[in-house]
Amino acid sequence: MRPFLAILAASLFAVTPHDAVAQDTPDGDQRVVLVTGSTSGLGREVALALGAAGDHVIVHGRNEERGRVVVDSIRAMGGSARFMRADFARLDDIAGLAEQILADYPRLDVLVNNAGIWLEGPRQLSEDGHELHFQVNYLATYLLTESLADLLRASAPARVVNVASIAQRPLDFDDVMLESGYSDGRAYAQSKLAQIMITRVHAEAFEGSGVTVNALHPATMMDTNMVLSRGAQARASVDEGAEAVLHLIDAPDLGTGGYFNGMQPAQPNAQAFDAEALARLVELSAEWTGGGA
Ligand SMILES: NC(=O)c1ccc[n+]([C@@H]2O[C@H](COP(=O)([O-])OP(=O)(O)OC[C@H]3O[C@@H](n4cnc5c(N)ncnc54)[C@H](OP(=O)(O)O)[C@@H]3O)[C@@H](O)[C@H]2O)c1
For residues 139 and 285, what is the distance between their CA atoms, to the nearest angstrom?
A: 7
State pLDDT tens for residues 115-132.
999 999 999 999 999 999
Closest-CA residue, ligand 1 atom 46, reads 116
Q: pTM, whole model, 2 decimals?
A: 0.93
Q: Please name which of 85, 101, 82 lies closest in space to residue 93, comparing C-alpha atoms.
A: 85
- Looking at the predicted structure, is the pLDDT value of residue 3 above 80? no
- How many domains are there within the chain? 1
Q: Please name which of 138, 134, 170 lies closest in space to residue 271, comparing C-alpha atoms.
A: 170
The whole-angstrom distance between residue 66's C-alpha and the CA centroid of its chain comes to 17
Q: Is residue 19 part of a domain?
A: no
71: left (phi over 0), alpha (psi -120 to 50) or beta: alpha
Closest-CA residue, ligand 1 atom 20, reads 226
Q: Is residue 205 part of a domain?
A: yes
With a 6 A CB cut-off, is 40 part of the ligand 1 pocket?
Answer: yes
With a 6 A CB cut-off, is 123 part of the ligand 1 pocket?
Answer: no
Q: How far is the CA of 115 from the centre of ligand 1 (A)?
A: 4
CATH number where 163 lies:
3.40.50.720
With a 6 A CB cut-off, is 153 part of the ligand 1 pocket?
Answer: no
Cα torsion through 90, 96, 102, 105, rounded to 10: -100
Q: Is residue 4 part of a domain?
A: no
Q: Is residue 141 part of a domain?
A: yes
For residues 142 and 129, what is the distance between their CA atoms, to the nearest angstrom?
A: 17
- Looking at the predicted structure, is the pLDDT value of residue 5 above 70? no
For residues 135 and 117, what is the distance between their CA atoms, to the nearest angstrom?
A: 10
Q: The domain containing residue 264 runs over which residues?
A: 86-289
pLDDT band for 62, please (50, 70, 90 cuts): very high
With a 6 A CB cut-off, is 197 part of the ligand 1 pocket?
Answer: no
For residues 173 and 116, what is the distance between their CA atoms, to the nearest angstrom?
A: 22
Q: Is 142 a catalytic residue?
A: no
Q: Is residue 46 part of a domain?
A: no
For residues 21 and 62, what is the distance between their CA atoms, to the nearest angstrom?
A: 25
For residues 74 and 86, what is the distance between their CA atoms, to the nearest angstrom?
A: 20
For residues 115 and 60, what is the distance between their CA atoms, to the nearest angstrom?
A: 8
- The pLDDT assigned to 291 comes to 62
- Looking at the predicted structure, is the pLDDT value of residue 212 above 50? yes
Q: How far is the CA of 154 from the centre of ligand 1 (A)?
A: 29
Q: Is residue 280 part of a domain?
A: yes
pLDDT cut 90: percent of the chain above it: 89
The whole-angstrom distance between residue 212's C-alpha and the CA centroid of its chain comes to 15
Of the residues 40, 195, 196, which should be mutated to test ligand 1's pocket, given the most ligand atoms within 8 Å of the CB?
A: 40
Q: Is residue 48 part of a domain?
A: no
State pLDDT tens for residues 238-261.
999 999 999 999 999 999 999 999
Q: Is residue 38 part of a domain?
A: no
Instruction: Name every residue whose Cβ is closer than 8 Å to that of residue 57 and which is 6 or more positions away in sequence.
Output: 33, 35, 38, 47, 50, 51, 74, 79, 80, 81, 82
Largest CA distance in the chain: 57
For residues 221 and 76, what is the distance between their CA atoms, to the nearest angstrom?
A: 30
